[in-house]
Amino acid sequence: MPPASPSDSELARRARSGEVGALGLLLARHQAGMRAVALSLLGHGPDVDDVLQDAALVALRRIGGLRDPAAAGPWLRMIVRNACRMRLRAPVTVPFTDDLTPGGPTPEQVMEEHALRDWVWHAIDELSPPLRMAVMLRHFSGITSYEQIAAACEVPVGTVRSRLSQARAKLAGTLLATATLAHDDAASLTAASGREARETLAAAERGAMAEVAAERWSPRFEIVGGQGERGGYDLALRGMDDDLDAGVRQRFLHAVAGRDLVIWEMDLISPPDDPAHCPPAVAWLMRLREGRVDRLRLFHGV
């Protein structure tokens, strides 16, 4: 006799405690009912799929606050109903932003608190590099405004909005499709990247930055500096040495690490006798190829 399928209540409790896949199973089980709600409010059209994608992301972020696990089905349908009403009120398509869940936790908090981060990071890693960088900056770094992201990625603000909208749709679909698969440990990846950032800064201060570059940067390495200057190894190493000679120090704050895109956020500490020497912070936006950095963009914000 085959084992009984887990109840909604059991799946919801497992999802709240962070079991990867439990929420995906809940979403799959109730997808027909969620779609029926969307159709009743929006009619047939592309908005229905958009709302279901939005609802999947909202459910991911709010599963920890579900008080009655047995009411998971009505809770999911309520999320769809609210998303439909928001879409009917909105003059344009609702973007993938925190506005869908006012007062709710950030995506990073959800992943840390409910251990769903590996599942989500797998979905993020399935995005194209331009979409992935926009999502990583918008939701996991200190570079969050459309204007800042546009400047960091060297694209128009409208392109940023489009990329985030595309990412929202693709993320929801991937989350549903991959809920039961095993995923890499995103926490370990981020922790390792943070250690590498600290090691890099320490190496620079003891005059060993060239050795780090030879080991961790691609032979095709290129850098785009904070003022838009472009070059290779020589420009990067000279810039680091010049800053150190001037008394500027970098202090690691935060890492965001994906499969082949990495963000390091640093405080910039000016010398005591020249407190306005440099901007207060810098982000290292890195693209990896075969595990080595092949492009580094230094971004000071706007």
The DSSP bridge partners found for residue 262 are 257, 286
Mind listing the domains of the chain with CATH numbers? 8-177 (no CATH), 186-299 (3.10.450.50)
Residue type, 22: A
Rounded to an integer, what distance in angstroms lies between the CA atom of residue 69 and that of residue 121? 25
Specify the pLDDT at position 232.
Answer: 95
Specify the pLDDT at position 235.
Answer: 95
Specify the pLDDT at position 117.
Answer: 57
Give me the long-range contacts of 77-81 (CB less than 8 A, separation at least 24): 77/30, 77/33, 77/34, 77/37, 79/55, 80/34, 80/37, 80/38, 80/51, 80/52, 80/55, 81/37, 81/41
Which two structure tokens, joined as six digits, stand for 15?
Answer: 């999802």
Which two structure tokens, joined as six digits, stand for 171?
Answer: 């993320």
Q: Which pTM does this prediction carry?
A: 0.63
b/e map of 73-107 (b: 16 or more CB within 10 Å)?
eebbbebbbbbbeebeeeeeebbbeeebbeeebeb
Rounded to an integer, what distance in angstroms lies between the CA atom of residue 109 and that of residue 5? 30
Relative orientation angle of helices 22-29 and 46-62, to the nearest 10 degrees: 140
Can you give the pLDDT of all 302 residues of the chain as single tens digits?
A: 344 578 888 888 888 876 656 777 888 888 888 989 999 998 887 778 778 877 877 787 788 788 888 899 999 999 999 989 887 875 443 333 333 334 455 444 444 444 345 666 777 888 899 999 998 888 778 888 889 999 999 999 999 989 988 887 777 666 666 655 545 556 677 888 999 999 999 999 999 999 999 999 999 999 999 888 999 999 999 999 999 999 999 999 989 888 889 999 999 999 999 988 889 999 999 999 988 999 999 999 75
